[in-house]
Amino acid sequence: MTDTTGVTDTTDTTDATDATDVTHAGARSPAGRLVGKVAVVTGAGRGIGRGLALTLAREGAAVGLGARTGAEIDAVAREIVAAGGRAVAVPCDVRDRAAVECLVETTAATFGRLDIAIANAGGMHGFGPVSDVEPDDWWATHEVNVLGTLLTCRAAIPHLRSSGGGHILVMGSGARLRGGPGWSAYSSSKAAVFSLVRILAQELRSDAISVNEIIPGPVQTELADFAGATVALAPGAPGVFGGEWLKQPADVAEFVLGVLALPSRGPTAQSFSLLGRDA
């Protein structure tokens, strides 16, 4: 185990077998909304996951960062530590059970508990008509979005129980209900995630563990890809695509903070959505 500033990765298999831990500690203001809490975030090296990790740390949480690309989560960890926060980085492919368990175990062991698990890592492979899509590519989407979510939740449950309860948040999508031609892999995987959230919420209700779905809608990255179209966007440029507010990762992270403010014995089996909102 290497002690440095904390980062963790996303979903790339390249670094997953090495599960190196990177830990950073720094002074944090007691004024944050999550002081004393410990969170784990998958897909934390970029995009929404990076925004979530930075925001949780800003609010006082210690954060375990997981993703496939170690260099990306290391950079996020350094940013957290430079701002006075705490983070541990563990390269992790969410399709790999041992790697996911390493991420969660390392986070809990480093910071003494676990209160929040965010299954954020996801992706899409095999875009195209069912008649043309390669089955292996189609299935790869389910491995990341469904199996990865299952493994993340499963690894977190015993630690959340030991902490007396907590929150599981899963990144969903409006495409689970209104996917279009070519979207069979992604839409069906997110429909499975929708069902998993409802079932898991029932199983964990008595443990004071809430299980909810976050539906961010379109979020600006280097490429905004949704509704069957890929649109290149200039960094930082505001915009609306398809009638939807095109959000920044920080917008989603602030929304998640509101959900985490709810008691763990509060709403569960719910979908909290930023879809259908204008700027």
CA pair distance 55, 37, nearest whole angstrom: 13
Q: Which amino acid is at 24?
A: H
Contact 117, 104 (CB under 8 A): yes
250 is catalytic: no
Residue 210, Cβ density class (10 Å: 0-12 exposed, 13-18 middle, ≥19 buried): buried
166: left (phi over 0), alpha (psi -120 to 50) or beta: left
**In terms of DSSP bridges, do strands 87-91 and 62-67 run parallel, antiparallel, or are they unpaired?**
parallel
Helix (H) or strand (E) holding 230: strand 229-232
Helix (H) or strand (E) holding 257: helix 249-260
Residue 256, Cβ density class (10 Å: 0-12 exposed, 13-18 middle, ≥19 buried): buried
Catalytic residue among 111, 186, 226, 245: 186
Residues labelled as active-site residues: 186
